[in-house]
Chain A
Amino acid sequence: MKHSVKQYALALYEVTADQKKATIPDLVKNFLNLLIKNNDLAKLNDIIKAFTDTWQKANGQLSAQLITKQPVTAEVLKNITAYVKTQTDCQNIDWQQSTDPTILGGLLIKYRDQVIDGTIKNNLLRLKDKLVN
């Protein structure tokens, strides 16, 4: 029987969630053996990503990517963090910041499978679509 990435990730989380650190390597080893046995080792990267999301959700953590035209100030980042917290119910947000002058302004936030595109470039593209259609 085949299992989905999400099922594997959830199973790994449930097995490791309340365990002590010392037992986790053995559990992970068993999990890897299971993947090999089921011939699902190719799904490992996706399983790790899904496991991370599940782990972060369960622990109120979030890895998010922030793209702006120029580096944001601490004050602006604080406001952005507060905004994302209201959207996700996550208390700890781990930001990966980068700059891209081509977005012209505004911000682009990516987390999990969500994208919040508030860039000027995106607004101009939407305007272009409206003008054409």
Chain B
Amino acid sequence: MDSIIDTFHVDLKLLIAQAVNFAIVFVALYYLAFKPLAKTMQNRSQKIADGLKNAEVIAQKLEQSKAEQKTIIKQAKQEANQLLQQAQNEANERKDQMIAKAKEEIGQIITTAKAKIQQEKAVILKELKAEVADLVVLTTAQLLKEKIDPKKDKDIINQLIK
């Protein structure tokens, strides 16, 4: 043993000192570098695992959300169609009502116009009759004025008191 030590010029004290140094460095490195690094790595791994897990959850939720979205869109389309149909029905009903009202109003206007025309016609006819009557009476009076002589007048009087 001593020969080996001598052969290789091993200084036992130095070796022990180096061993102690190594141990100190090792311990220092262990506590100051390896342990935080390991903790950091572990945290990182945990974060990655959590991230993957979250990604899966998000993916599931996304799928769920897509399905819900489809359902909502489908419902919305159905509701929109219902609303559209209802609006169409209401519009048709309103259109029918407006047409009926317009027809009624037109009917009233026609009736009023007919009545007015009849009234105007009656007035015109009455005026015409009055004018004709005036003309007849005036003409007859003119003729009688010339035609009735004393003899005819006497005959008329005798006829009246018969």
Chain A contact residues (Cβ within 8 angstroms of B): what range?
20 to 34
Using a Cβ–Cβ cut-off of 8 Å, how many residues does chain B contribute to the interface with A?
Answer: 22
Of the candidates A79, A82, A120, A124, the one whose C-beta lies within 8 Å of that of B156 is A120
With A104-B144, A121-B141, A128-B137 known as contacts, the answer to whether A73 contacts B154 (CB < 8 A) is yes
Q: Is the CB of B145 within 8 A of A104?
A: yes
Of the candidates B129, B148, B152, the one whose C-beta lies within 8 Å of that of A132 is B129
A60 sits at the interface (CB 8 A): no
Query: CA separation between A71 and B152, bound complex, in Å?
Result: 14
Q: Is the CB of B158 within 8 A of A76?
A: yes
Pick the most buried of B150, B152, B157: most chain A CB atoms within 10 A of its CB. Answer: B157
Query: CA separation between A106 and B157, bound complex, in Å?
Result: 5
Interface residues of B in 95-133 (CB under 8 A from A): 126, 129-130, 132-133
Of the candidates A79, A120, A121, A125, the one whose C-beta lies within 8 Å of that of B158 is A79
Residues of B within 8 A of A36 (CB): none
Q: How far is the CB of B103 from chain A (nearest CB, A)?
A: 40
Task: Report A54-91 CB contacts with B as 1/0, cut-off 8 Å.
Answer: 00000000000000111011001001101100000000
Closest partner residue, chain B, to A121 (CB atom):
B141
Interface residues of A in 42-62 (CB under 8 A from B): none
With A128-B136, A131-B136 known as contacts, the answer to whether A72 contacts B141 (CB < 8 A) is no
Residues of A within 8 A of B133 (CB): 127-128, 131-132
Complex A-B, nearest 10 residue pairs according to Cβ-Cβ distance, in ascending order: A131-B133, A83-B161, A118-B160, A105-B148, A128-B133, A105-B153, A128-B137, A124-B137, A132-B133, A132-B129
Binding site for B on A (CB under 8 A): 68-70, 72-73, 76, 79-80, 82-83, 104-107, 118, 120-121, 124-125, 127-128, 131-132
